[in-house]
Chain A
């Protein structure tokens, strides 16, 4: 199994541009989430999904959209990039019926907005 994969690994955008960060998992996990990590800080939840067609907002959802059309994929869309969105983005997945909530993380996407 590849686990959780993310593309691209690095991206540079200009203010106002849009883009989609891709996330895929092959573990048949129902739950998936997106976090951002800023220097010296832990991870902050952007959006999460508990299954195909079901998404909800996390702590810092503004400026981001998500959709979950399949169990495997959970893309994150930046509608109009801003310098404040410069960050490292992590996607994670985990099993719905696990009593442990252990999350599996992708390697991250480092995004710079100029």
Chain B
């Protein structure tokens, strides 16, 4: 069964606005990752946050992790049309685990 549940399932905003997506998971984790998937393409790794970290930044991306609530959020600031994609969270249950467990994804649309 899938570990993560993402909220919202779809999000539509205007270019320049910030986009926030949330991910909840069920079991303990070693790290949580966010991936982007453009339409008709494979997934691309965006950012990873470890279980002992609370916040991480990469360019216009900001990820937070609350292990007590088993939740994470991905914030994209100053959105661009090119950010239109589906975003997935994926969890790694322990270090060296042999698989990722993906959420269902959030479909983000940036309107020009």
Using a CB–CB cutoff of 8 Å, the interface residues on chain A facing chain B are 4, 31, 33, 35, 40-45, 48, 50, 56, 58-59, 90, 92, 99-108
Contacts and interface: CB of A to CB of B under 8 A. Distances in A.
Contacts of A107: 41-42
A6 B43 CA distance: 13
Contact of A45 (B31, B92, B95, B99): B99
Interface of B: 1-2, 4, 9, 30-31, 33, 40-45, 48, 88, 92, 95-105
Contacts of A48: 98-99
A42 B4 CA distance: 9
Given A101-B33, A102-B33, A43 B99 contact: no
A41 B95 CA distance: 26
B40 to A, nearest CB: 8
Nearest to B89: A42
Contact of A101 (B4, B44, B100, B102): B100
A90 B40 CA distance: 11
A106 B103 contact: no
B11 to A, nearest CB: 15
Contacts of A102: 33, 45, 48
